[in-house]
């Protein structure tokens, strides 16, 4: 193995020169024996990590021939081949980002924390979030023996504050919306709190008029959601198809297309800080305010709904009735039973 540093003397003082960069550094000594010892120490310090890497390659190649050649692109392909269709599409879109280009063909065995820090510096919050998923996936597969970056060194993710759309904002957007199908779609979101993708994919077969319920399985989590058809929701459904997709045109649009259209309507209506998902938060907040038990709200939106956890944990404010009101109501019920 070629030495990293060579020794020479200038004006009686010994120097070392980097054979790769040509950089020269004084050893601050005129003693040749001391100079050679310092030279050997520098070369040994450089040689040992390289030797360790070569030894690691030899051992790992014996157990897994692909180990030393495996790059992060392989991890990306494996990760985006798992899970639901929506998850796979999301991974495929994110990993196309140029933020991953420097890492894409980097071999796992040669990856250092600096490679990840470069992504931390230039990447958005979502990029860092998916990089962490990629890293942990490789770690769980045993494709990297130790974390590239220690858990406490990862940037902390702070979720943006989200809020539900207000009744006035909802009515303002409806007022400027001209297409009937879009109006009915927004009304359905307001009455059900369904995620936009789930609502757009609803069919007439999800509606059971005998039990007056709508039942569907969430696209994101697969959890079951079911709720009773209210009078207002019945009015909305009465204007929608009785067979097939409830929203024939909307169901062919992508989530981004629907989000972009809604954003343009918000701009025209002067409404800021909301998205289609704000209907889901609004429903959860309304449910808490009126005192709906959390288990009922979970059944309506799906038991894994973050909107429910958020609203029932801290968001929506409730004015607690006085005990006297409850006692009066209880006494009235007892009197009714007695009669």
Rounded to 5 degrees, φ, ψ at 88 are: -65, -40
More confident residue, 273 or 3: 273
Summarize the confidence of residues 22-40 as an average pLDDT: 89
Q: Is the pLDDT of residue 54 over 70?
A: no
Lowest model confidence (mean pLDDT) among 55-69, 249-263, 266-280, 318-332: 55-69
Residue 12 gets the label, from left (phi > 0), alpha (psi -120 to 50) or beta, of left
Q: Edge to edge, what strands does the sheet with 213-217 contain?
A: 207-208, 213-217, 224-228
Summarize the confidence of residues 169-178 as an average pLDDT: 94
* pTM of this prediction exceeds 0.75: no
* Structural domains of the chain, with CATH: 5-63 (no CATH), 80-153 (no CATH), 167-315 (1.10.443.10)
Summarize the confidence of residues 184-197 as an average pLDDT: 93
Say what the pLDDT of residue 285 is: 87
Tell me the C-alpha distance between 207 and 199, whole Å: 12
Residue 133 gets the label, from left (phi > 0), alpha (psi -120 to 50) or beta, of alpha
């Amino acid at each position: 193995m070629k030495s990293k540093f060579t020794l020479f003397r200038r004006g009686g003082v010994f120097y070392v020169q980097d054979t790769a960069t040509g950089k020269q550094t004084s050893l601050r000594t005129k003693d040749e024996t001391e100079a050679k010892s310092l030279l050997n120490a520098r070369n040994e310090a450089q040689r040992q990590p390289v030797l360790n890497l070569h030894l690691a390659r030899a051992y790992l190649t014996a157990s897994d021939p692909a180990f030393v050649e495996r790059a992060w692109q392989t991890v990306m392909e494996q990760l985006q081949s798992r899970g639901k269709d929506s998850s796979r599409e999301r991974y495929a879109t994110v990993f196309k980002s140029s933020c991953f280009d420097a890492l894409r063909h980097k071999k796992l065995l040669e990856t250092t924390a600096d490679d990840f820090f470069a992504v931390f510096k230039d990447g958005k919050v979502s990029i860092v979030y998916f990089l962490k998923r990629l890293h942990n996936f490789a770690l769980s597969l045993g494709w990297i023996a130790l974390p590239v970056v220690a858990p406490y060194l990862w940037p902390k993710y702070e979720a943006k504050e989200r809020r539900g759309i207000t009744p006035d904002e909802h009515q303002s957007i409806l007022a400027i919306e001209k297409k009937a199908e879009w109006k009915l779609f927004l009304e359905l979101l307001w009455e059900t709190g369904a995620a936009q993708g789930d609502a757009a994919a609803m069919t007439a077969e999800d509606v059971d008029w005998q039990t007056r319920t709508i039942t569907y399985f969430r696209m994101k989590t697969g959890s079951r959601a079911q709720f009773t058809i209210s009078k207002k929701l019945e009015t909305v459904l009465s204007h929608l198809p009785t067979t097939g997709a409830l929203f024939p045109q909307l169901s062919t649009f992508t989530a981004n297309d629907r989000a972009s259209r809604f954003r343009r309507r918000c701009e025209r209506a002067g409404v800021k800080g909301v998205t289609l998902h704000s209907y889901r938060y609004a429903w959860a907040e309304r449910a808490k305010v009126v005192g709906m038990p959390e288990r009922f709200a979970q059944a309506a939106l799906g038991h894994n709904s973050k909107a429910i956890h958020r609203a029932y944990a801290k968001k929506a404010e409730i004015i607690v009735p006085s005990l006297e009101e409850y006692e009066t109501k209880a006494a009235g019920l007892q009197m009714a039973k007695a009669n």
